[in-house]
Structure 1
Amino acid sequence: MIVTQDFEVRVGARTLLNAPGQHLRVQPGDRIGLVGRNGAGKTTTMRILAGESEPYGGSVTRSGDLGYLPQDSKEGDIEQSARDRVLSARGLDAMRRTMERQQEIMETTNSDSERDAAIRKYSRMEERFQALGGYEADSEAARICDALGLPERVLDQQLKTLSGGQRRRVELAHILFAATNGSGRSATTLLLDEPTNHLDADSITWLRGFLAKHDGGLVMISHDVELLDAVCNKIWFLDAVRAEADVYNMGWSKYKDARATDEARRRRERANAEKKASALRQQAEKLGAKATKARAAKQMVARAERMLGSLDEVPVEDRMAHIRFPEPAPCGKTPLNATGLTKMYGSLEVFAGVDLAIDRGSRVVVLGFNGAGKTTLLKLLAGVERTDGEGGIVTGHGLKIGYFAQEHDTIDGSRSVWENAVGACPDAGEQDLRGLLGAFMFSGDQLNQPAGTLSGGEKTRLALATLVSSRANVLLLDEPTNNLDPQSREQVLQALQTYEGAVVLVTHDPGAVRALQPERVIVLPDGTEDLWGDEYMEIVELA
């Protein structure tokens, strides 16, 4: 259970949310969709609810178990296996190691006292292990992982060998495994920020069913409308204009109608109030000309101001980022040529011998199952990682690469928005850079905001903004539409359609593929290259 009291959220001097009293509460059985435009404060609010940071004002009271999936989840021990990471959610991995150690002592010691102590410790630990469903844990964890697209072969791999998408799914499995608690029912409060990122269609369907049956509380940020509709019985709408949270005790479909009704009511009330206030001001002007009526005129003006001040702000048309990709710099016929690209993690081969020639203006989609190496291939092409073996990258005449990283690795979270932009675009003039950031909806105090405190959608916009002044003629785009609200996503799709340079795209978004209109496809891990055909779109839509 989570209860806020006089809750206030700020970033720098900007107030994102005011929720007086106990306006926001999460109780068992509440399945809440936290919605609002990018930058409204959804991720910041979620982080505070989870205890990862403190509110500017007021307090948050938490009781019971809590499972938090942040948008940019970072694992602790990357040497740990995926299986142990999931089991650690209930502490079962450590318990199992302790039991194995006590069993070894029982079998090898010659001391009766040591053996008796080991037996007692083993018995206590086994009782706890059994109560937490330890003996069924492996199969239960494997079932959850498989449902999230993590096959058995992946579970014994170290986290450092997994792709970003696989590690994200391990973290989700870790949280859901803890929430089941071995009993199939749980009062755990789940806080999930974009849980469907990196999930395929089957996994999203399974997750919908899991969350819809969850007994504890749930707060979820998602741009997946079907997920919100299937799971949520309450909606919190963060209004960026009023810096308030509207609580709707209803599901997604009814919420949309109710919100439209509320906004229409606010517009009517304000229109009527403005009409009355205008009449009062006109009357005050007439009275003000007469000295004997001056006091009455001032009272009329004050009444008009009070009338308007007591009304809610009317939602205006959401300000949108003007997202575009750079005008490509001149280059040769084949600006980027990769031969024999290979990536190994220890003895594990991700892919080997991948050849890829990127001609001027070409449009290529990289496909493959999760973990096939799509993100890794883009990192090799971008020069972020080095190929194993004898292959390599040949840069053609005039090559300028623009790299958009799925996990926003190109953004330094400890530096401000402005510092990140200057670092990425050192040759840009100050006014040009301010204009560029303004087009991507970064201005005023937000320029001094640490980039690490931005929402996922804001980080995406910042990363895209830094590409614009690069004049890149080869864009390497890894899931560029993740975390974006529908309006910003449409802007990215339009930018893809009009960009004249070459693009290598990794995405689970069918709309992004359609906007790109690809000519070729690379299928990993085999590295097979083929002309684009409709049969490949079916793979994207199922992925």
Structure 2
Amino acid sequence: MVDFNYCNLTAGSDKQTMITAEKLALLRGGQTLFDDSSFQVFPQHRVGLVGKNGCGKSSLFSLCRNELQADEGQLNIPAKWRIASVAQDTPALEQSALNYVIDGDKPYRQLQSELDQAESANDGHRIAEIHDQLAAIGSFDIEARASAMLAGLGFEQSQLGNPVKSFSGGWRMRLNLAQALMARADLLLLDEPTNHLDVDAIFWLEDYLRQFDGTLILISHDRDFLDSVCTDILHIEHQRITQYRGNYSQFEAQRAEQIAQQQSQYEKAQVMREHLQKYVDRFRYKASKAKQAQSRLKAIEKLPTQAPLRAQADIRFSFLTPPQLPNPLMTLRDTRAGYGDTTILRHIKLNLVPGTRLGLLGRNGAGKSTLIKLLAGELPPLDGERTVSPGLRIGYFAQHQLETLDLQASALLHLQRLDPQASEQTLRDFLGSFGFSGDQATRSVEPMSGGEKARLALAIIIYQKPNLLLLDEPTNHLDLSLRDTLVDALQEYEGALIVVAHDRHLLRTTVDEFCLVANGEVNPFDGDLDDYHRWLQDQAAAQRSEAKQTDNSDDKKRDRKEQKRLEAAFRQQVAPLKKRIQQRETEISKLEQQLSDLHDQLSDSSLYDDSNKDKLQQLLATQTELKQSLELAESDWMEAEEELSQHQQEFEQANNA
């Protein structure tokens, strides 16, 4: 379920309209994550939170949700803001996917509950009130909104009624994301939302977030996604949170300029230091120049003594040269791929030669991973030919590559098993380029972070000197600097490269051509990722058009059924008004009869004799009271009639729309 709460952080007054951090500091496990950090996040801004793995990004989210307390300073969030984030766990529920996502809309579910109670109590007035409130929050289209959201995230219409428990872990994370997006949040916190999405779902999410009318803070290692969505960047580095205006590319440019300026100032200061020091050394002991020498010593003390903090040292690795590059490396001729009796892809034709750099595009489930497994030899062809050349060395990074690591073994032991003849120092030197130096090379895999395991998996593949590299989502768990390192390494790689990735920057910078996996076939795609985005939009439009044509055949039956449902809902909504009108009509009729009877009594001439003076006054007073009651009843009746008429007009307009 979506994590959803009201904020109760420090000093957030009702008038506060933005997030402010003042000299914020947080320590975890004796380690300072950030210190003396101040920033502001304005309403409706979309902020990218970036930094190396372990720098404190997720801990800052925990501060925002009031799950942690700052060690120093304050993080102030408006007290009445509703905060939503993506739940990390999803119970195995019988509830349908659609209803699970709708649960994210807390106000709607609360009103639904109140409506059930009012209907049980037969409280017509309260029922009418709740229906007005439901209309005010747009509840009439909530199922359509949830369905559209799930479609954007890759779910088929036929899956929406399936129980949550029937979906795999990755698809449940998509359900959690959809549930968080349904929340009426003032502040939305998203931690790596693209990790379980393919390219088409990422395109949809970008469009959705750009239209989000709340405040967004986003952790992501996808630079294209950050560029498309973000208006600001918060960067955590050297235990300090620094704020930048603009998207990720603009942040990189600003940061590079700052480092260059600081370096230039430092170098100028060093020149000045050397010049002043020469004067001091020359005249320090000359009485006539002692005062000037002392003045220059003070000036030296004020000069900067440290070079500017550079970016943290990046890990740099490269692919080893394969011992040979046969041509072709592999050929597929009219090959059919699938599982058992189920065909996923047919008529596959590929000729892979050294220098091939191919990206695979296609919707989730279209067969991209099936094709990669066929190329890797993990999946035998159901039909056709798969021909490999002598000397072929395949390096295969699968989506679940991290699960193949021996958790009890060290990084060093993994390589020693591959190459028992290599010296320990040679293997240590190799592992050092992947960030495993000293004791890190000999500790077990189990406590490693996801990023460290991904680095080790890449190291194992690279050590084997593949001439055909098959990468299926290789950037999961890698931070931005490691992704850049991988891009640099792949650009220099000499063998053939096949990539499936949701990281568009990786695809744009490492492949030369694309194949589209769709409708059970693999065909060359004449275009780039922008063309693929347009293709996806055209496909979606065609599907909507086809669905509309299909629905037209059943429109009459559906319209009749829907009309009856709407009419029943309308009758329930206006029932309290009709009851009120009927009550007033009965009351008016009764008052009019009483006034008529009173008029007959007042028509008796004997009533005006002095002996009947008291009776006359009593009857006149009663007449005045009855007229006032009648006036009030008629006024209330007219008000109810006008309200009913308004509801009827709105109902008719909705039907005619």
- Which range, TM-score by smaller chain? 0.5 to 0.7
Among 38, 41, 45, the residue aligned to 2:55: 41
The superposition leaves residues 58-86 of structure 1 with CA deviations (integer Å, 9 ceiling, x where unpaired) of 4767654333349xx66443876543442
1:492 is aligned to 486
Contact 1:8 1:56 in 2 (8 A): yes
SS at match of 2:338: strand
SS at match of 1:86: helix
Relative to structure 1, the CA distance from residue 229 to residue 413 in structure 2 (aligned partners, 3 Å threshold; closer, same or farther) is: farther
Relative to structure 1, the CA distance from residue 130 to residue 388 in structure 2 (aligned partners, 3 Å threshold; closer, same or farther) is: farther
Q: Is residue 402 of structure 1 aligned with residue 398 of structure 2?
A: no
The superposition leaves residues 271-329 of structure 1 with CA deviations (integer Å, 9 ceiling, x where unpaired) of 34333444455556568899xx99x99998797466435x7x52537744433335447
Structure 2 unmatched runs, 5+: 1-6, 8-18, 537-657
1:515 is aligned to 510
Partner Cα distance (1:440, 1:403) in 2? 18
Among 41, 46, 56, the residue aligned to 1:31: 46
Give the partner amino acid of 1:155: L
Give the partner amino acid of 2:462: V
Contact 1:339 1:356 in 2 (8 A): no
Partner Cα distance (1:355, 1:229) in 2? 36
SS at match of 1:476: strand
1:172 is aligned to 177
Partner Cα distance (2:92, 2:365) in 1? 19
1:66 is aligned to 83
Which structure dedicates a bigger proportion of its chain to helix? 2
Task: Quote how far apart the aligned CAs of 1:138 are.
Answer: 1.9
2:188 is aligned to 190
2:160 is aligned to 155
Counterparts of 1:273-352 in structure 2, within 5 Å, are 273-279=269-275, 281-282=277-278, 304=300, 307-308=303-304, 314-316=308-310, 319-328=313-322, 340-342=337-339, 351=344
Give the partner amino acid of 2:271: K
Relative to structure 1, the CA distance from residue 541 to residue 90 in structure 2 (aligned partners, 3 Å threshold; closer, same or farther) is: closer
* Structure with more contact order per residue of length (Cα contacts < 8 Å, sep ≥ 6): 1
Paired positions, count:
500
Give the partner amino acid of 2:233: I
Contact 2:402 2:454 in 1 (8 A): no
2:241 is aligned to 245
Partner Cα distance (1:522, 1:40) in 2? 37
The superposition leaves residues 7-59 of structure 1 with CA deviations (integer Å, 9 ceiling, x where unpaired) of 44678887553234xx24556434322245x4583644555446598589547
The superposition leaves residues 221-254 of structure 1 with CA deviations (integer Å, 9 ceiling, x where unpaired) of 346666556654433233x3x4322224667787
2:559 is aligned to none
Counterparts of 1:352-363 in structure 2, within 5 Å, are none
Partner Cα distance (1:486, 1:14) in 2? 23
1:111 is aligned to none
Q: Is residue 271 of structure 1 aligned with residue 267 of structure 2?
A: yes
2:433 is aligned to 439
| Bigger radius of gyration among the two | 2
Q: Is residue 534 of structure 1 aligned with residue 539 of structure 2?
A: no
Partner Cα distance (1:409, 1:88) in 2? 34
Which stretch has the larger CA shift, 49-58 or 206-215?
49-58
Partner Cα distance (1:173, 1:432) in 2? 49
Partner Cα distance (2:340, 2:141) in 1? 36
Contact 1:33 1:232 in 2 (8 A): yes
TM-score (norm: length of structure 2): 0.56
2:576 is aligned to none
Task: Quote how far apart the aligned CAs of 1:492 are.
Answer: 3.1
SS at match of 1:77: coil
Task: Quote how far apart the aligned CAs of 1:477 are.
Answer: 0.7
Which stretch has the larger CA shift, 436-445 or 88-97?
88-97
Task: Quote how far apart the aligned CAs of 1:176 are.
Answer: 0.7
What is the aligned-residue identity percentage?
A: 29
Among 469, 472, 487, the residue aligned to 2:463: 469
Partner Cα distance (2:483, 2:399) in 1? 15
Partner Cα distance (2:424, 2:28) in 1? 24
Counterparts of 1:109-124 in structure 2, within 5 Å, are 119=120
Partner Cα distance (2:218, 2:209) in 1? 10
2:218 is aligned to 220
Partner Cα distance (1:205, 1:522) in 2? 17
Relative to structure 1, the CA distance from residue 173 to residue 305 in structure 2 (aligned partners, 3 Å threshold; closer, same or farther) is: farther
Structure 1 unmatched runs, 5+: 103-115
Task: Quote how far apart the aligned CAs of 1:262 are.
Answer: 3.9
Relative to structure 1, the CA distance from residue 32 to residue 93 in structure 2 (aligned partners, 3 Å threshold; closer, same or farther) is: closer
